[in-house]
Structure 1
Amino acid sequence: MGFPGTWMTESESVVYRVVPKCACSSIGQIMFYSDHGRFFDGDIHDSKEGLHKWSQDYSQGPIERVVKGGKAYSFTCVRNPYGRILSSFFDKIAGIQRNGRRYRGNLVPQLIQKYGIEVGSPEDNFDFDQVKSFRRFLLFARDTIRWRRPMEPDIHWSAMSGHISTFIVNGGRYNNIFFTEKFNEGMQSVLDDIETPVKVDLAAVPKFNESEGHGPKRAHPISDYFDDLSRHLVWEIYKKDFQLFKYDFDNPDNKMPLGEVDLDEVHAKLGQ
Structure 2
Amino acid sequence: MKNKYFVYAVINILIFIAYIYSTYFYFLVIWAISILFPLMLFILLKLEARYIQLDLHGQKQGEVGKRLSFVSEITSQYRLLVSGRIEYDFVYENNTLQSQIRKRIFIPLGMKYSKKEHQYTATYCGEVTFSYENIYLYDVFGFCRVSFPQDKKHHVVIYPHKIPMELLYNELSKPYENGLLQYQYKKGPDMSEIFDLKQYYQGDDIRHVHWKLTAKTRQMLLKEGTHNSSFETVLLVDIGLNDQNEEVDKKV
Indicate the TM-score class for this superposition, using the shorter chain for normalisation. under 0.3
Normalised by the size of structure 1, how large is the TM-score? 0.17
Q: Which has the higher contact order (CA 8 A, sep 6+)?
A: 1
**Greater percentage in strand:** 2
Normalised by the size of structure 2, how large is the TM-score? 0.18
Q: Which has the larger radius of gyration?
A: 2
